[in-house]
Structure 1
């Protein structure tokens, strides 16, 4: 047997192994084949161990574009770093309280920005396990009012918890129907009365939360593919429509009032991993897929027979796993298998060069993020792709094994100062939007954290992990009331504000000013001597 024949047989064997591996991967993913544990009472058979933390973290992010962007200014105003009044504000909590009591804020109390500035000192950092399952937990999200939490697990159960008044009590367990491999996504209706979930099924399923869980409605999407699933879904602002992104590359819109599919949009060249409504109007849609592109769709100009997005956002080097809109109709973030989160301004679309470079970069990826380690060229890229129109790139978490999700922190408590994401290394990573740096890393799980949800009105978040647990994170530590050096010199009210203070406060302020002036003169005299 000569070397060429040996090499030929070796190549044939490799091709067969690759083909068998590919087929097995598809069957497992689609739910036609399941991996069964050995029967031992050992939960280790059920879970995938956490990946290693990223090897590199960008310690000096380039914020050139971010610093001059509208989102930077809006975030600084929302979280109390800038005020429209023009008055300088103290930084430490003690100084802010002191200044308020002395009247420097006028007759009003703290603004919402002031409150966010204070609460941003108490970002959650300590985990308590609030639920444990015998299978991987895939989805977990708070309701809009924060009074309920819904989880979805690979054991085909949805669980609803009551979270009002700081509680975390299981209310009901809902057995999902027609589940292939796992429940893939869930969503609350805007009024909080319904939930919808998706799986490897041609139908979405809707059920009323406060009635018999056996009463579930199947919403047929009538796809062309036999093996079909919806990876991502969401309700419109009025609750009438449900938007979904599918493995056949299409976006689907189901009209609940007409009880039929209203729209089918050919959106991407590969799986549509994530979709979202841009804002409360329900006219602008976002989508992201395994082709590495984020697309913006306007339903008012959309032709189903020849659908064209109003714009494309290019710059990622691998498939997009999740999109989260900021809620202002202008900005969104995207999580990606290239191990980055990007912040986008949807008014600045990418040109043909940027789109071509993204497609080229994605086509050159030969690894599978579900069971392989991150290639070095992705974990530590030297520069962005040419034509990348993103405002900012955030690195420090890992996206492996599953479609890891990211979100903006709530506007009410944080002013959307942060971006938070799950991580394949069993962590929750929180980024500072304004600096691009990792603000904090929350470690507590032993397997991939796929989903994280921040309470809309409280400083707590819940992480959903493949180790089968839900972890509730709250702040633990001493209150940060120390005076900072820059706050030692109390900022006094303007002359106009001074005239409106009570007489006792005016006298006290005058005495304090005189005392500080005297101390400054004495200090100057001592120094000169």
Structure 2
């Protein structure tokens, strides 16, 4: 894999090409994420399965079934050989799974409605969860008890900053609040909003840029909001891509925060320039297949897009090198 050592330019991004479309599952992918090192990727599907991929080879290294409880919002825990996932059946427990022996380490119970997001701290063993029960819960992997609880008026979204020292919460589809983890029970240290938002546009996920300067708000529309993390001002609204079915779109930053990658229902992958807000590049997905998940590796020139089929992307230079081996 090509490490990210310089800022990704449009010229560099044009080298990103589809490398593989694993046929491990034909079910719709409901979540995927890379490990912090970028060496592994994990995804969960609507047929209650999880698949772990070695990104050096692009091959599936493990698979896990969760037929009884279902699975969604799968994320690597602090150890890349362990993962957290939400449940879609029976109950709303978050499950902590060892990927080495396919055994559950711990169960995190407390949400009484569907979990809609999980975010793992980049610093330690803490993670955040949000759910349709209108709560944000803070957990420590070492104990099954919730260590922090916020009751809200609507389903929230939340994410840690890149240093793991604070977290942001998105409330009522128009307000962002920032909390210091050391004193989150005292309330937010900063609050932005209400931010301008069209009626019916729901905030479905949020993430900080790797540089920590911006917060990206993903929605159920063809809009992504880029917010200045210090002032709370909307810097850009990315809205050239399409979302005909109005489903939650998951977009991501490139590792050095210069571009935002998002899929589209027109079968294209869009890269927006963070500074200008304009479309820097559009590239077609294989067979122009729509995708609602687009995730760039945190460390390498590798990406993954998914809807009913997973596509792994890498530099065409890498493909040529492999072919010559």
Above 0.5 in TM-score? yes
Structure 1 residue 448, shift from structure 2 partner: 4.4
**Alignment-derived partner of residue 157 in structure 1:** 49
Q: 1:136 to 1:121 in 2, by over 3 A?
A: closer
Task: Report SS of the residue matched to 2:182.
Answer: helix
Choose the corresponding residue for 1:396, options 228, 240, 259: 240
Unaligned runs of 5+ in 1: 1-110, 350-388, 478-529
Q: 1:418 to 1:123 in 2, by over 3 A?
A: farther
Q: Does 1:198 align with 2:86?
A: yes
Residue 112 (structure 1) shift: 4.7
| Residue 118 of structure 1: how far off its partner (Å) | 9.1
Write out aligned runs for 1:413-432 (5 A).
416-432=257-273
Correspondence for 1:501: none
Q: Tell me how many residue pairs correspond in the alignment.
A: 307
Moved over 4 A (4+): 115-119, 445-448
| Map of 1:512 onto structure 2 | none
Compare the two structures and name the one with the higher strand fraction: 2
5 Å-filtered alignment, 1:182-197, equals 183-197=71-85
Greater length-normalized contact order (CA 8 Å, ≥ 6 residues apart): 1
Counterpart of 2:40 in structure 1 is: 148
CA distance in 2, matches of 1:122, 1:291: 34
**SS of residue matched to 1:327:** coil
What is the correspondence of 1:108-147 to structure 2 with a 5 Å cutoff? 112-113=5-6, 116=8, 120=12, 122-126=14-18, 128-147=20-39
Aligned to 2:66: 176
Task: Determine which structure has the larger helix proportion and give its number.
Answer: 1
| 1:474 aligned residue | 314
Question: Which residue, out of 294, 297, 300, partners 1:455?
Answer: 297
Within 5 A, what are the aligned runs for 1:55-74?
none
C-alpha distance 172-476 of structure 1, shift in aligned 2 (>3 A):
closer
Residue of structure 2 in register with 1:216 after alignment = 104
Q: What are the residue-to-residue correspondences of 1:298-447 with 2, within 5 Å?
A: 298-303=180-185, 307-308=187-188, 310-313=190-193, 314-317=195-198, 318-349=201-232, 389-399=233-243, 400-411=245-256, 416-438=257-279, 439-444=281-286
Q: Cα–Cα, structure 1 residues 425 and 294, in superposed 2: closer, same or farther, change >3 Å?
A: farther
Larger radius of gyration: 1
Match among 229, 232, 251 for residue 117 of structure 2: 232
Structure 2 contact 58–312 (Cα < 8 Å) conserved: no
